[in-house]
């Protein structure tokens, strides 16, 4: 596999997109306490930067869930929860934070897991959306960037646990 020479999304563009998302989310939750449920490992970088960009007056609790659904460059339909949050989502507002919305398998598994606990609401935020690959009908309430069908790495996104550390998003081919 080879990394593209130039980033698909550079650091300045990522920063601007996250600032824009933070403004939208800050307005949406201006008078509502909510839980940011970060999907590990890929969304960790994004979630951290997003949380720091949110209005500091917001009432936010952080939780984490780990789901595996990729083998190499292919998403499989058997998304598996490897780590579950410690607290219940019953009667609470939940914002799921994901790195990339691709086939929809992972997002669907996470949304169903949260929905089974009867939350007050569920919203979904993704840094990247690849609608051309969607196999499961999942909608993002907040989207940073819509991209074409490329396999991307960097800024938390990986290929077999490599490239997460890159500060920008690159195409892998």
Looking at mean pLDDT, say which of 67-71, 79-83, 87-91 comes out highest. 87-91
pLDDT at position 78 is 72
Tokens of 17: 């997109």
The model's pLDDT over 82-98, given as tens digits with 9 standing for 90+, comes to 999 989 999 999 999 99
Q: Which residues contact 94 (CB under 8 A, 6 or more apart)?
A: 34, 35, 37, 114, 119, 121, 122, 123
Structural domains of the chain ordered from first start? 11-172 (3.40.50.2020)
Q: How far apart are CA 94 and CA 38, in angstroms?
A: 10
What phi-psi label fits residue 44: left (phi over 0), alpha (psi between -120 and 50 degrees) or beta?
alpha
**Is 29 in contact with 95 (CB distance < 8 Å)?**
yes
Q: Which residues are catalytic?
A: 102
Relative to beta strand 151-153, strand 142-146 is: unpaired
Query: How many Cβ atoms from other residues are within 10 Å of residue 154's Cβ?
Result: 25
The model's pLDDT over 100-139, given as tens digits with 9 standing for 90+, comes to 999 999 999 999 999 999 999 999 999 999 999 999 999 9
SS3 of 16-27: the string is HHHHHHHHHHHH
Q: What is the mean pLDDT of residues 48-71?
A: 92
Tokens of 15: 């920063």
Mean pLDDT rounded to a whole number for the chain: 94
């Amino acid at each position: 596999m080879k990394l593209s020479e130039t980033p698909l999304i550079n650091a300045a563009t990522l920063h601007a997109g996250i600032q824009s998302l933070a403004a939208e989310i800050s307005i949406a939750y201006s008078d509502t306490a909510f839980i940011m449920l970060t999907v590990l490992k890929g969304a960790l970088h994004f979630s951290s930067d997003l949380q720091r960009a949110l209005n500091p007056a917001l009432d936010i609790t952080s939780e984490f869930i780990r789901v595996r659904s990729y083998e190499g460059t292919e998403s499989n339909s058997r998304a598996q929860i490897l780590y579950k949050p410690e607290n219940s989502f019953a009667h609470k507002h939940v914002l799921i934070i994901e790195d990339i919305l691709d086939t929809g398998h992972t997002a669907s598994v996470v949304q169903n897991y949260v929905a089974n606990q009867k939350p007050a609401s569920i919203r979904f935020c993704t840094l990247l959306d690849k609608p051309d690959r969607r196999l499961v009908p999942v909608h993002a309430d907040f989207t940073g960037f819509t991209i074409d069908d490329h396999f991307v790495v960097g800024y938390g996104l990986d290929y077999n646990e490599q490239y997460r550390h890159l500060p920008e998003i690159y195409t892998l081919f």
